[in-house]
Amino acid sequence: LTFRLLSVFQNSKSAQGLVGLRNLGNTCFMNSILQCLSNTQSLRDYCLHNSHRRDLNNNNRTNTALMEEFAKLIQTMWTSSSSEAVSPSEFKTQIQRYAPRFVGYNQQDAQEFLRFLLDGLHNEVNRVTVRPRGNMEDFDHLPDEEKGKKMWAKYLEREDSKIVDLFVGQLKSSLTCSECGYCSTVFDPFWDLSLPIAKGYGEVSLMDCMRLFTKEDVLDGDEKPTCYRCKARRRCTKKFTVQKFPKILVLHLKRFSEARIRTSKLSTFVNFPMKDLDLREFASDRSSSAVYNLYAVSNHSGTTMGGHYTAYCCNPENGEWYTYNDSRYLLYFPSSAVIFLYPILHLLPHSCFFTSLPPTLP
């Protein structure tokens, strides 16, 4: 299989949303994530239609500046008739006010930037303006399915926004005592899943990474927890499953690993489908709808000492895939599923964005 990249010249803008972002000084990590979010159709429409304004917490102007600048940037990227690159400088001013770690021009981790950004946007359009007092309710007597729903409802009492609607799912952690068999469950919200990559292989699949993330682990020695039934520390097994899949699933591949005094990068190729990624085997309830299509990739090239982020995104208007490298963008051609699977296979993706498909009728 082969593929070609067609350059999109300044005067040949063929669809809306095709625009580069100026690098303000080591801000490729930011530009990569912004392009992925710009091509997230539901989030884009939320900004384009000014729907975010009815959700803004307008107690004071500074509390909504990040969402306002983000929406303004998305609007510029999608309504501009020019092919000139857009400067995200005003947006950067606001994200570094919200998260001072992004002050300056040091290279940063794109996934950490995404987490801070989504958290900031959520806080400014949270529909909950007065959070209820934290009262500890005991749901342990309930069946797991009902307990998960109760815990999700409790979460929404405090955190409820368009950002949560799109990006947040629920993870189930099961702890089983090897002595008496007692199983305790904990349900936690998640914004993304950070997947380990199996070492020692030239190429693995995304499903391999998911299976490694959800495989049963043995907790022994110093890790042994106290069993509720035995009233003593016992050897146990721990396993993750997904209780509630989000509409937009972000999978972060853990390419950077810390070993003693330095950080190294795993260059393993991760193979994944462009369409119909079926994750139902990882669901707590196998009847859950968990089939996704890929629409964006944040890609890291280089090493931990000096690297560069780019983005590969499917334009929601014309269905074509483009690569974004700061101010420049290129078109993948042709756009048949067989062909464009190939270049994606040979990227070193850092974060993958999937959109859920409607459940199929039985």
Strand 328-333 with 321-325, pairing? antiparallel
28 catalytic? Reply is: yes
The answer to whether 265 and 304 have CB atoms below 8 angstroms apart is: yes
Please write down the HEC assignment for all residues of 75-115.
HHHHHCCCCCCECCHHHHHHHHHHCHHHCCCCCCCHHHHHH
User: Which residue in 129, 111, 6 sits closest to 64, CA to CA?
Assistant: 129
- Rounded to the nearest 10°, the torsion over CA 286, 291, 297, 298 is -30
Whole-angstrom distance, CA of residue 250 vs CA of residue 115: 10
Nearest Cα to Cα of residue 298 among 25, 8, 15, 37: 37
Q: Annotated catalytic, 308?
A: yes
> CA-to-CA distance for 145 and 246, rounded, in angstroms?
17
| 197: alpha, beta or left? (left if phi > 0; alpha if psi -120 to 50) | beta
Label residues 282-320 b or e (16+ Cβ within 10 Å = b): bbbeeebebbbebbbbbbbeeeeeebbbbbbbbbbeeeb
Residue from 122, 230, 300, 308 carrying the catalytic annotation: 308
Given its phi and psi angles, is residue 221 left (phi above 0), alpha (psi -120 to 50 degrees) or beta?
Answer: left
> Which phi and psi angles does 14 have, rounded to 5°?
-100, -10
Amino acid symbol at 132? P
- Verify cis geometry, omega within 30 degrees of 0, for the bond prior to 334: yes
Distance CA 35, CA 13 (A): 16
162 phi, psi to nearest 5 deg: -60, -35
Q: Which residues are catalytic?
A: 28, 308
